[in-house]
Structure 1
Amino acid sequence: MRISCFIFLLLPFLLLGQTKQQAKIDSLLVELPRKQDDTLKVKFLHEISFAYSNLNPDEGVKYSNVALALSEKLDYPKGIAASIAMLAVNYNVKTEYGKAIALNQKALAQYQKLKDKRSVASIYANVSEIYLGLSKYPEALRNSFEALKIYEEFKKDPNTAQVLENIGHVYYEQKKYNKTKKYYSQALDIYNESGSQRDIARCMGNMARVFQSGKEYQKALDYLFSALKTNQDLGMPNSVQGNMANIGIVYIKLKEYEKAVHYHSEALRISEELGFKNNIAINNGNLGNTYLRMEMDPKNVTIGKNSNNIRSAIHHLENAVAICKDIGFSAPQIEFSENLTEAYTLAENYKMAYSTLKSSILLRDSIFSKQSQIELSKLETKRDLSLKNKDIIIKNKELEINQLEDENDRMLYISGILILFIVIFTIVRYLIKQMRSHDNAMAKLIRIQSHEIRGPIASILGLSQLFNFNKPDDPANKELIEGINILANNLDEVVIQVINDTKEKKI
């Protein structure tokens, strides 16, 4: 009941926020006919285009093109470059990344010709953000460092914070949370000094992800609800849905699934209204993952391959994976494909589970390859050359690069996986036998076995049936083994948790 009431109370805030943003646009449009065809009108058109970028990027493109045509008529080179850059901003929001990159490169050439260093830096920052969305992390970091190098030539340039935040994003995707927190903290300090509420809210939302990764869930929620309130007041629907999505993720971690479903559903509704494919994909994936976790929770009593939770999970996760493929959203596609593999396994659809797992393994290998890690480390080294303690930093980075380059690909053997499975299964049986004297503890373990162990075991059995024993060197066998290894690791984590619980309760 409390959740339903909250939905009712939240909706007016969202509508009010969008109304404020539209009111700003309306006031700009009323003023537009009074403007003469001069350079000031070009800048005014850019303001309208940017205001539309967070609400209706198609209209943003329209006004950017009007600004471009007027700039060319006036022979206004800086206006031409800025109009092209503003087009890139709107195409980026529309998830037409190829166009956005091409337009940014065109604007970059214009600004370099004009020797406008600050604008050159801003284009590098924009391109970095696009590459980040495409999971091309070395390119994202390279462009961010180029931007940062220029901004650092100017004292307290406010755009420095945005670049620091983008660098934090790259390290977050690489799960290097200490570095992520370092760059987010530097950015937040600058935003607090400038007093920009929009930027503070966005950075607080990003910082919350770091706290969530460190299992500081209440701190993450405090940051997210603060950011959500600010974005509602500012009328930023796209930022609102992002905050809601992150709040939903925290509630999944807290196993408060009804609240998670609520926030992810609201985030999906807003993103569908805005028509932003990347956010539609993410919110579908988050919602599907929520239903999957609900099904696997030991407290769930409506289990079964045809349960509503499983059907909902598969529906939303399939939508998410399809959209990610369509727009080249690789990193989320990996995560949602792995979740979809779990859902197919619980639905006893082993053929689809194997096919999805195979695709996600290939994609993960291409994105998180050793070569990518080497490139990132090399870029960090180049950046650190301009900082203090050069000799120590260079040695540390060179060692990191050498370690990455010297690593050899490890072959996985079916016999080792089977032995691991037998050992794990034996441990589980032993634990069950030991816990029979304690009814409550036994009930909990049975729930764990039926939900969290059942899935991986069923998957391993299903995938092992596909192993080609007649031709051990079949390339498909390696992929099968990798899939079994992933599932065995998941099972191992569950067993470790059971062992820890057993020690804590002295069963």
Structure 2
Amino acid sequence: YMTRALKIYEEFGDEPRQALVLGNIGNLYLDYNKFEPAKQAFERTIVLAKKHNISGTLANAYSGMLQYNFQTANYPMAMRYARMAETILSKSNSRSDLGTVYNSIGQIFYEQKKYDEAMDYYDRSLAIRKDMNDQLGIASCYKNIGVCYGKLQEFDKANSYLNRAIAVFKRIDARDYLRDAHVQQAKLFEEQKNLGGSLLALKESTKIKDSIYSRETTDRINELEIQYQTEKKAQQIVLLNKENKIQKLTVQNRNITIGIVAGVLLLSVLGGFMFYNRYKLRQENRLQETIIKQQDLSTKAVLQAEETERQRISSELHDGLGQMFSAVKLNLSGIIDDIKFKNDQSSSVFMKTLDLVDESCKEVRVISHQMAPNVLLRSGLATAVRDFIDKIDARKLEVKLETVGLKDRLDTNVESVLYRVIQEIVNNVIKHAGANKLDIQLIREEDGVNIMIEDNGKGFDTAIVERAEGMGLKNIRSRISYLKGSVDFSSAPGKGTLVAIYVPL
């Protein structure tokens, strides 16, 4: 039925409802472990939701991609989509969905063996569940926290939280969840060498499993009985209707004729309307494509002119001003032995001047290389970024760089734009964030490049910054837009900043 609904919405060009149905289809595919069809449905949902600015549908699609990547053990990508869903849900105050996302982030950290971080997000989810009096959610958070404490060898706390979870699951008769809680408790007792407790917990789990099977069998028998009674009544109704149909044939024939004529007229009107509507949509699409094409050409020309100007200035600095400073240094070094200084102070001033000239030579060379880094042209994006961050003082900012799948070179234009964007973001961290740690991930996949840059600085209010966007953020957005990509900022005061970039290839 969902597929039929999607087909109808596609025929009428109703893209917002297409996005909604595609999201539901993606979740259904996930329930049946059909991961690739689920991924395709969610990706189509994201495109349509972004196009029409439907934040709720977009957040659900991000959550779906989070679950897809979690199920396929791609935890970095799962975290990326979790952060994007968190940003949207925080703005819209969708507390129930936000609690679910927090719980999923905790599961990602758990799978990565980061148990303290996992418990932090389980606690956030628990606070929301308690505020909403969501008993099932509260018990699930208790269970997850208990399992984390078990991994940390804090067995008393682990037992306490698991017992709380079991008590709530029993009270609300959540048997599937209760069975899993007993299984986790059995594992915990086994780790404590409490084999008796482990055996009792496993017996409880088996007893619940048997009761679930018995209940399902009873429900199935009742369902079959209802179907039998329904079919029996339907047969009686059919026998009664046969007598009435004989009397109504003449009237029906007349009504059918009238209906056919009216249907033909209605179809003609609908056909004309749909033809006109499709023609109008095609014209609008052509106009939009032309506008986008012109914008792309303009952006490309600006970026190319900017890069050309950078190379020209770099060459001027290196070959002009740099050579002049080198000549000055050489001349001063050549005459030092011929000069007789009046006192030690004059000699010291002369040596400091010589050192300043040397520092100026180095500074000109650094600026020249930053404006047109030769390493980017020679070795590619990953090597250029590593060369750039190696020049940062590690005592003030510790930078970790992780690259995946970048052994083969990207398109020269893509490498140049991404390098400038990363350079701009890192400079912003140095100038404004007050951070001492910075993590950079460059991941190339089959269909695109993902970049995640996260610092532990003072953060900022994304709503305020988006309303008063400076030149730096505008440059970042325009460059990524030129590559048909997307960039998302996730931050809050006192909680650092995460910048997530995706560029299709």
TM bucket normalised to smaller = 0.3 to 0.5
Between Structure 1 and Structure 2, which shows a larger proportion of helix residues?
1
Relative contact order, higher structure (CA 8 A, sep 6+)? 1
Rg (Cα) greater in structure: 2
Instruction: Provide TM-score, normalisation by structure 1.
Output: 0.39
Instruction: Provide TM-score, normalisation by structure 2.
Output: 0.40
